[in-house]
């Protein structure tokens, strides 16, 4: 790190970055638990439009991961608020900062009034964390579709001064293109199970992982010809240690039954594109699966007081919901084996409402970034002219 300016335990940045006209900063306050997933979600689409973006990282492990995986990007690590105060004043052309999650250290950058602060989020979920008052700190909130806006409107507080912009879901673009063919005609039955993790607190634990072995084996018993895959959330077992080895244990148990447990690093989008039946929990992956326009089975636990950020449609409107194995088997038999996909029309409506097909397919996210870049450059040029 000898070639880094301010190289210390809490602040690292390559000096070359100060010679660039940085207009955009992407902030991530996450650790390695969630940070890489959030960055992989958005950064490819920044790269297509914006040349001079700085990635501001607040965790040293994530900094090193970024350095290895995005070697040509400008990256800075700043741990403390004092490090932020040393770093940001060096960027005279900075106009916009983007956030992928609500971590506590965002307060260190949000205090800069001259910057436009934009929340992006890493997906689209009904979990209560996706719509609450903290979002008022941002100048703009870029959401997938109308569903997320309605979650805020239904959350019980005033949102009149909040600015929302629909940008779709860029990573789902290719999946949306492929959903024009009826799901039955795309491939042989291919089931994908995508349980969420056990959550930060037990009261918000909506995961089906305690049923995972029985659930997967029940599918195999119902249909011997289908492909069955399971991908567990990357942080499964991080709160409840009894599940920390679950993916490995199940892989060893179920491989003889031709049930595959996929490595946690494989992207959900890649798996969704290869599947036509989905089993999920309450999480953002539901909307990823929705883009494929195939039957989705969602686990809703009976023993929990489910607190969600409610839009104007519910899971029951476009997904086949179940609370136990018997209920799942009855639904699977009716919908898949007997061919009664009775929610197909509502599912198409949900795609438009939640994902925003138009905005996704027409590159609205990239267009907004391009407009911001152009306006920033024009302001810089105008200032240069005025100074002459």
Residue 87 has pLDDT above 90, yes or no: yes
**Among 57-61, 89-93, 293-297, 322-326, which is the least confidently predicted range?**
89-93
pLDDT above 90 coverage of the chain, percent = 72
Q: 198 and 118 in one domain?
A: no
Residues 367, 332 share a domain: no
Examine the domain organization and report whether 228 and 111 are in the same domain. Answer: no
pLDDT band (50, 70, 90) for residue 193: very high
Residue 142 lies in a domain: no
pLDDT in tens, 152-164: 999 889 999 999 9
Say which CATH number the domain at 39 has. 3.40.50
Token digits for 41?
């979600």
pLDDT of residue 185: 93
Average pLDDT for residues 12-31, to the nearest whole number? 91
Q: Round to whole Å and give the CA distance between 76 and 81.
A: 14
Identify whether residues 349 and 363 lie together within a single domain.
Answer: no
Q: Which DSSP string do the residues of 159-210 spell out, in sequence order?
A: -TT--EEE---GGGHHHHHHTTS-HHHHSS-EEEEE-----SSGGG----GG
Question: What is this structure's pTM?
Answer: 0.86
Q: Is the dihedral of CA 332, 351, 123, 39 positive or negative?
A: positive
Residue 156 is given by DSSP the state: T
Q: pLDDT class for 376, splitting at 50, 70, 90?
A: confident
Examine residue 308 and state whether it is found in any structural domain, yes or no. Answer: yes
Q: What pLDDT does 132 receive?
A: 87
Q: Is the pLDDT score of 313 beyond 50?
A: yes
214 to each of 79, 224, 325, how far by Cα in Å? 44, 15, 8
Rg of the chain on CA atoms, in Å:
22
Max intra-chain CA distance, the chain: 78
**What domain range is 32 assigned to?**
11-122+359-387
Q: Within this chain, do residues 235 and 309 fall inside the same structural domain, yes or no?
A: yes
379 pLDDT higher than 90:
no
Residues 231, 97, single domain; the answer is no
Which string of b and e fits 108-125 if b means at least 16 CB within 10 Å?
bbbeeeebbbbbbbbbbb
Element housing 36 (H / E): helix 35-47
Q: Is the model more confident about 293 or about 312?
A: 293
Q: Residue 58: inside a domain, yes or no?
A: yes
Whether the pLDDT of residue 172 is over 80: the answer is yes
Average pLDDT over the chain, rounded to an integer: 90
Q: Mean of the pLDDT values across residues 183-191?
A: 94
Beta-sheet strand order (sheet of 277-280): 259-261, 227-230, 190-194, 277-280, 296-299, 320-322
pLDDT of residue 1: 37
Q: Characterize 362-376 residue by residue with b for buried, 16 or more Cβ atoms within 10 angstroms of its Cβ, and e for exposed.
A: ebbbbebbeebbeeb
Query: What tokens does 330 get?
Result: 């009855």
Q: Which of 2-16, 249-263, 332-346, 361-375 bottoms out in mean pLDDT, i.e. has the lowest? A: 2-16
Query: For residue 366, what are its two tokens?
Result: 């990239």
Cβ(91)–Cβ(376) under 8 Å?
no
Q: What DSSP assignment string belongs to 295-317? A: -EEEE--TTS---B---SS-HHH
State the Cα–Cα distance between residues 50 and 372, nearest whole angstrom: 9
Using a pLDDT cut of 70, give the percent of the chain over it. 93
Any domain includes 145:
no
User: For residue 18, is pLDDT > 50?
Assistant: yes
Which pLDDT belongs to residue 385? Answer: 45
Residue 140 lies in a domain: no
Count of C-beta atoms within a 10 Å radius of residue 3: 8
**pLDDT above 50 for 2:** no
The pLDDT value given to residue 122: 61
| 343 burial level (CB within 10 Å; 0-12, 13-18, 19+) | middle
Q: How confident is the model at residue 8 (pLDDT cuts 50, 70, 90)?
A: confident
Task: Dump pLDDT digits (tens) for 91-134.
Answer: 999 999 999 999 999 999 999 999 999 999 765 666 667 888 99
Q: With beta carbons less than 8 A apart as the criterion, state whether 142 and 165 touch.
A: yes
Mean pLDDT of all residues in 217-226: 93
Is 144 a residue whose pLDDT tops 70?
yes
**Same domain (yes/no): 338, 191:** yes
Instruction: List the end-to-end C-alpha distance of the chain, in Å, as a whole number.
Output: 40
Looking at the fold, whether 261 and 112 belong to one and the same domain comes out as no
72, pLDDT greater than 60: yes
Single out the residue of 334, 342, 294 nearest to residue 316, CA to CA.
342
Same-domain status, 186 and 51: no
Residue at 166 is within a domain: no
Are both 342 and 372 inside the same structural domain?
no
Please state the domain count of the chain.
Answer: 2
Q: Are residues 320 and 178 in the same domain?
A: yes
Residue 85 covered by a domain: yes
Q: Could you tell me if 262 and 311 lie in one domain?
A: yes
pLDDT at 383: 47
Cβ atoms < 10 Å from Cβ of 182: 12
Report the candidate in 183, 191, 141, 185 with the shortest Cα–Cα distance to residue 161.
141
In a domain, 314, yes or no: yes
Average pLDDT of the residues in 187-194: 96
């Amino acid at each position: 790190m000898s070639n880094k300016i301010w190289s210390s335990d809490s602040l690292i940045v390559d000096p070359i970055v100060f010679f660039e006209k940085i207009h955009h900063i992407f902030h991530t306050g996450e650790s390695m638990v969630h940070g890489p997933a959030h960055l992989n979600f958005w950064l490819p689409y920044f790269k297509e439009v914006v040349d001079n973006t700085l990635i501001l990282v607040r965790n040293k492990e994530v900094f090193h991961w970024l350095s290895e995986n995005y070697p040509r990007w400008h990256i800075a690590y700043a741990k403390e608020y004092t490090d932020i105060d040393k770093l940001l004043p060096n960027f005279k052309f900075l106009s916009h900062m983007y956030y992928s999650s609500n971590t506590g250290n965002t307060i260190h950058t949000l205090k800069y009034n001259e910057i436009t602060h934009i929340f992006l989020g890493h997906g689209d979920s009904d979990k209560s964390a996706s719509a609450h008052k903290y979002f008022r700190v941002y100048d703009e909130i870029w959401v997938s579709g109308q569903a997320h806006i309605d979650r805020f409107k239904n959350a019980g507080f005033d949102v009149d001064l909040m600015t929302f912009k629909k940008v779709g879901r860029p990573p789902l673009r290719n999946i949306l293109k492929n959903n024009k063919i009826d799901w039955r005609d795309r491939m042989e039955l291919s089931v994908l199970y995508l349980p969420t993790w056990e959550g930060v607190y037990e009261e918000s634990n909506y995961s089906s992982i305690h049923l995972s072995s029985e659930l997967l084996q029940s599918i195999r018993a119902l249909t011997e010809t289908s492909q069955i895959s399971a991908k567990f959330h990357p942080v499964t077992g991080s709160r409840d240690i009894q599940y920390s080895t679950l993916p490995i244990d199940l892989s060893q148990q179920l491989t003889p039954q031709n049930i595959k447990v996929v490595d946690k690093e494989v992207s959900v989008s890649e798996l969704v594109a290869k599947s036509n039946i989905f089993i999920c929990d309450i999480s953002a992956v539901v909307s990823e699966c929705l883009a494929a326009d195939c039957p989705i089975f969602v686990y809703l636990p009976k023993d929990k007081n489910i607190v969600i950020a409610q839009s104007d449609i519910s899971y029951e409107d476009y997904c086949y919901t179940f609370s136990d194995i018997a209920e799942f088997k009855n639904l699977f038999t009716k919908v898949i084996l007997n061919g009664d996909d009775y929610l197909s029309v509502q599912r198409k409506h949900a795609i438009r409402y939640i994902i925003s097909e138009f905005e996704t397919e027409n590159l609205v996210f990239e267009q907004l970034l391009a407009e911001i870049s152009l306006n920033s450059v024009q302001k810089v040029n105008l200032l240069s002219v005025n100074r002459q």
